[in-house]
Amino acid sequence: VRTAPGPGRCGLCGQQRQLTLAHVPPRQVGNHGGRVQRAPWVTSPAGAKLGSFKAGPLTVYGLCADCNNLTSGMDDPAYIDFHKEVERYLRPTMRRLLLEPTQIPARVAPGLVARSVLAGMFALNDRLQEHYPEFADELRDSGADRRLPDELSLRLALTSGSHARVGGPVMFMRVLGTRELHSPFADIWFPPLAWCLTSSRPAPSSLGPEISDRWADVSDWIRYRTETTVDLRDLVRRIEFASAPQFGADEWVTMLGDSMAAVEARVVA
């Protein structure tokens, strides 16, 4: 997760270019300094720790200006609409009306929302473009038939509370309580939605299950080509609530993939 400007390799086109600031998730869901306090991971030879929290959005320098603009016309607005609708259904007054809190009748344009999410993830982890250049091209091409590579799985959960984070490749292992693993290629937690791009191959069982294995599998959302919105319940039968592993908490051991693995944040109402 690159948090400073300058030239670098674009996470979508792979070219060496000036990298531009991208809000992940989009600013209009409340990802701005009025509502968000962020703290980057700081690494040193002694290990990783969390920097101090300061007012500011979750942002990343991972895409060139051209690639950064690809999703601003339709995909990011579809994401913003979906986020706000889920947020509305999860308000206490609305939630009482839902028969089953894990079944939310929100409208969603799956192809547009998935493109917005995946472009953000390719900004968070520039190794994705190296490993999946053809899929990166499909994400860039507005008319392409898109299909998530078989080795990848995109997962969706609900998350409550104030903890938000965006991260690249990093491994969390729960060492106290139930054995669990969180090993995303990229993840985006911003209440009420959490997204994780992970390997579709199961992790070695000795490490415990990957927490996103229980989440809704939305890997095929990117194949929807139309702007048509559908009822979320027609796409996923139920959505789990999940909590992000707490960096620095006793029960989780964290193994870093690269120097700046994630940015943590608090979202205030």
Q: Do the Cβ atoms of 135 and 151 come closer than 8 Å?
A: no
Which residue's CB is nearer to Zn ion, number 123 or number 193?
123
Which residue's CB is nearer to Zn ion, number 60 or number 64?
64
- By DSSP bridging, strand 252-256 and strand 186-190 are unpaired
Which residue's CB is nearer to Zn ion, number 12 or number 194?
12
**CB of residue 157 vs Zn ion: minimum separation in angstroms?**
29
Which residue's CB is nearer to Zn ion, number 16 or number 162?
16
CB atoms within 10 A of CB 220: 14
**CB of residue 28 vs Zn ion: minimum separation in angstroms?**
23
CB atoms within 10 A of CB 238: 11
**CB of residue 115 vs Zn ion: minimum separation in angstroms?**
15
3-state secondary structure of 129: helix
Which residue's CB is nearer to Zn ion, number 12 or number 262?
12
**CB of residue 65 vs Zn ion: minimum separation in angstroms?**
8
3-state secondary structure of 226: coil
**CB of residue 187 vs Zn ion: minimum separation in angstroms?**
22
Which residue's CB is nearer to Zn ion, number 13 or number 166?
13
Q: Which residues bind Zn ion (CB under 5 A)?
A: 10, 12-13, 64, 67
**CB of residue 25 vs Zn ion: minimum separation in angstroms?**
19
Runs of H (alpha helix) within the chain: 65-69, 75-89, 92-95, 110-124, 127-131, 133-140, 232-235
The beta strands (E) that lie in the chain are given as 6-9, 16-23, 36-44, 47-50, 54-55, 59-64, 107-108, 152-158, 163-167, 170-174, 180-182, 186-190, 193-199, 216-217, 230-231, 252-256, 262-267
Let me know how long the chain is: 269
